[in-house]
Chains A and B, each alone.
Chain A
Amino acid sequence: MMEKSFDDSMHRYGRAFSAVAIVLMLLVPVFVAFYFKTTPNMRGLLAGLASICLIYLPSSIVEVVTYAPMLGTGATYLAFITGNLTNLKIPCAMSAREIVGTEFGTKENEIVSTLSVAVSSLVTCGVLAIGVLLLVPLTPVLSSPVLQPAFSMVVPALFGALGYKYFSKTPLVAVAPFVSMVLLCLLVPAAASQVAVLVPVSAVISIAVARLLYKKGKI
Chain B
Amino acid sequence: MNSFLQMANSGTMYLIVGVVILFVTVMAIVFMVKAWREGIKIGMDKKKMRKAITASATFTLVPSVGILIGVIALAGSLGVPVPWLRLSVIGALHYETMAADVAAKAAGLPALAAEYMTGEAFVSIIAVMTVGIIWGAIFCIFGLKKYQSKVLNKVGKKDDRWGNIMFNAMFVGMVCAFIGAGFADLRKGSITSIVVIAVAAAFMALFSWLIDKKGQKWLESFSLSFAMVLGMGASVVMGLLGVK
Write the A6-20 contact mask toward B (1 if CB under 8 angstroms, else 0).
100111011101111
Question: Could you tell me if B64 and A127 are in contact, using CB atoms closer than 8 angstroms?
Answer: yes
Question: Could you tell me if B179 and A181 are in contact, using CB atoms closer than 8 angstroms?
Answer: yes
Question: Could you tell me if A166 and B67 are in contact, using CB atoms closer than 8 angstroms?
Answer: no
Task: Say whether A49 faces chain B, with CB atoms less than 8 Å apart.
Answer: yes
Question: Could you tell me if B102 and A52 are in contact, using CB atoms closer than 8 angstroms?
Answer: yes
State the CA gap A5–B243 with chains docked (Å): 57
Write the B189-209 contact mask toward A (1 if CB under 8 angstroms, else 0).
000111011111111110010
Write the A169-183 contact mask toward B (1 if CB under 8 angstroms, else 0).
110011001101110
Task: Say whether B111 faces chain A, with CB atoms less than 8 Å apart.
Answer: no
Chain A interface main SS type? helix
Which residues from A are CB-within-8-Å of B36?
A: 111, 115
Most buried by B among A107, A108, A139: A108
Write the A132-147 contact mask toward B (1 if CB under 8 angstroms, else 0).
1001001100110111
Question: Could you tell me if B171 and A153 are in contact, using CB atoms closer than 8 angstroms?
Answer: no
Write the B84-113 contact mask toward A (1 if CB under 8 angstroms, else 0).
110111111111000100110111100000
Write the A120-137 contact mask toward B (1 if CB under 8 angstroms, else 0).
111111011101100100
Question: Could you tell me if A31 and B16 are in contact, using CB atoms closer than 8 angstroms?
Answer: yes
State the CA gap A30–B192 with chains docked (Å): 42
CB-nearest residue of chain B to A47:
B106
Which residues from A are CB-within-8-Å of B141?
A: 14-15, 18-19, 22
Question: Could you tell me if A49 and B127 are in contact, using CB atoms closer than 8 angstroms?
Answer: yes
State the CA gap A167–B136 with chains docked (Å): 29
CB-nearest residue of chain A to B38:
A6
Given known A38-B123, A195-B181, contact A114–B90 (CB-CB < 8 A): no
Which residues from A are CB-within-8-Å of B120?
A: 36, 38-41
Which residues from A are CB-within-8-Å of B67?
A: 84, 88, 124, 127-128
Select B183's contact among A45, A154, A186, beta carbons within 8 Å: A186
State the CA gap A60–B140 with chains docked (Å): 10
CB-nearest residue of chain A to B39:
A111
Given known A38-B123, A125-B88, A203-B173, contact A198–B181 (CB-CB < 8 A): yes
Write the B150-161 contact mask toward A (1 if CB under 8 angstroms, else 0).
001000100010
Write the B56-87 contact mask toward A (1 if CB under 8 angstroms, else 0).
11011111111111011101000010001101
* Nearest chain A CB to B195 CB, angstrom units: 9
Which residues from A are CB-within-8-Å of B106?
A: 44-45, 47-48, 51
Task: Say whether B48 faces chain A, with CB atoms less than 8 Å apart.
Answer: yes
Which residues from B are CB-within-8-Å of A120?
A: 56-57, 59-60
Given known A41-B107, A48-B124, A173-B168, contact A128–B66 (CB-CB < 8 A): no
Which residues from B are CB-within-8-Å of A148?
A: 239
Question: Could you tell me if A123 and B24 are in contact, using CB atoms closer than 8 angstroms?
Answer: no
Question: Could you tell me if B164 and A14 are in contact, using CB atoms closer than 8 angstroms?
Answer: no
* Nearest chain A CB to B12 CB, angstrom units: 6
Question: Could you tell me if A151 and B133 are in contact, using CB atoms closer than 8 angstroms?
Answer: no
Which residues from B are CB-within-8-Å of A124?
A: 60, 63-64, 67, 88
* Nearest chain B CB to A190 CB, angstrom units: 8
Select B131's contact among A26, A93, A150, beta carbons within 8 Å: A26
* Nearest chain B CB to A3 CB, angstrom units: 8
Given known A63-B136, A177-B176, contact A192–B31 (CB-CB < 8 A): no
Question: Could you tell me if A185 and B180 are in contact, using CB atoms closer than 8 angstroms?
Answer: yes
Select B24's contact among A10, A121, A145, beta carbons within 8 Å: A121
State the CA gap A206–B107 with chains docked (Å): 41
Having A112-B49, A132-B80, one finds 20 other A-B pairs with CB under 8 Å, namely A21-B20, A22-B141, A25-B130, A70-B167, A80-B139, A91-B224, A92-B59, A99-B55, A99-B221, A103-B164, A104-B163, A135-B75, A142-B69, A156-B231, A157-B227, A166-B168, A181-B181, A191-B181, A192-B181, A209-B169
Closest 4 A-B residue pairs measured CB to CB? Answer: A181-B180, A160-B200, A192-B184, A44-B107
- For this complex, 15 residue pairs linking A to B, each with C-beta atoms less than 8 Å apart, are A21-B137, A25-B130, A40-B124, A45-B103, A68-B147, A80-B139, A87-B92, A105-B167, A108-B39, A112-B49, A120-B57, A125-B21, A146-B240, A150-B232, A161-B203
